[in-house]
Amino acid sequence: MTAIEVLRSVNLDWAMQLSDVWDDAPYDVPDLHRAIRQDFVQKLQAMRNDRKGDSPLGWVIVGSGGTGKTHLLGSFRHEAACQKAAFVLVDMTDVRDFWETVLQGYLDSLQQTFKNDAFQYQCLLENIIERLGPSKPVGEILGLLAERKSTDLGGDIKKVLNALNRIHPRETRKHHNAVRALICLNSDDYSISSLGMTWLQGCRIRSARAQLFRSSGNHLTGCGANRLRGHGRRGEDTFLGSWQRAGCRV
């Protein structure tokens, strides 16, 4: 083998990229950053047991290149999936509008494969429905919801919300549209799936489709960046709060 062939055989792309966080690493050293990993697990468990729903304080992790920060982030994502918690990755390397960037991070994270080849929005729905104590397997219910047409799906959404309302009335009244959006996003029908994404993006939904979100009104405006900022009208749904509760507490 010539010197140039040897050089070509060397993998110089050894560093983890931010997108690699969504994939389980082919290697791991459990003792690497063991203390902070254990702290993360304890924090997730504390959030699950926190009935008040307070937002936790953030952590700042600092280190030079190659010390394992991105790898650690991947281990956090893996642990969150195992704990049935949500995981959001927001890339702040090129920020022009902070809240638009946060919204895009949430939307991208929703559509990432998260656990057992399921997208994260499907895992969130599974988590919600599982806590309702259904008589059918959760996977079967998700499959039925995905196959429904808009007329049937509207009735199914009401059943899910009624069941949620019996257990968590305050949260259901506040975040019902986020649950509707997730159920629509799960649909096999592209027009229904795109409807859920339209609401999450903060775009206007015309009356022909707004019935899946509410029974009255000529149009409905989704969450969008302004709702993430907390600029929505009093009592309206906000996506950040809905995500937090669906992922960890509902």
- Give the DSSP H/E element, type plus range, for residue 204: strand 204-206
Task: Give pLDDT, residue 211.
Answer: 66
Residue 27's contacts (CB-CB under 8 Å, 6 or more residues apart) are none
Residue 229 CA to residue 197 CA, distance in Å, equals 19
Burial class (CB within 10 angstroms; exposed 0-12, middle 13-18, buried 19+) of 138: middle
| Angle formed at CA 22 by CA 16 and CA 23, multiple of 5 degrees | 70
| Angle formed at CA 25 by CA 22 and CA 27, multiple of 5 degrees | 170
**pLDDT exceeds 50 at position 36:** yes
Stretch among 21-35, 104-118, 174-188 having the lowest mean pLDDT: 21-35
Are the C-beta atoms of 150 and 189 separated by less than 8 Å? yes
Share of the chain above pLDDT 70, in %: 81
**pLDDT exceeds 60 at position 250:** no
More confident residue, 200 or 209: 200
Burial class (CB within 10 angstroms; exposed 0-12, middle 13-18, buried 19+) of 49: exposed
How many residues appear in the chain? 250
Mean pLDDT over the full length of the chain: 81
The residue among 126, 84, 121 whose CA lies nearest residue 106 is: 121
pTM: 0.78
Going by their DSSP bridges, the two strands 219-221 and 118-119 should be labelled as: unpaired
Residue 93, both tokens: 């390397």
Residue 69's contacts (CB-CB under 8 Å, 6 or more residues apart) are 61, 63
Residue 168 CA to residue 183 CA, distance in Å, equals 18
More confident residue, 231 or 149: 149
Going by their DSSP bridges, the two strands 204-206 and 118-119 should be labelled as: unpaired
Mean pLDDT of 12-27: 82
Task: Give pLDDT, residue 217.
Answer: 44
Share of the chain above pLDDT 90, in %: 32
pLDDT tens per residue, range 215-235: 444 455 566 655 555 554 444
Are the C-beta atoms of 181 and 170 separated by less than 8 Å? no
**pLDDT exceeds 90 at position 188:** yes
CA dihedral 60, 63, 64, 67 (to 10 degrees): -130
Are the C-beta atoms of 53 and 210 separated by less than 8 Å? no
pLDDT tens per residue, range 85-134: 899 999 888 788 888 898 899 999 999 999 888 999 999 999 999 988 88
The residue among 235, 117, 116 whose CA lies nearest residue 173 is: 235
Instruction: Give the highest mean pLDDT range of 15-19, 52-56, 180-184.
Output: 180-184
Task: Give pLDDT, residue 243.
Answer: 47
Stretch among 12-21, 22-31, 188-197 having the lowest mean pLDDT: 12-21
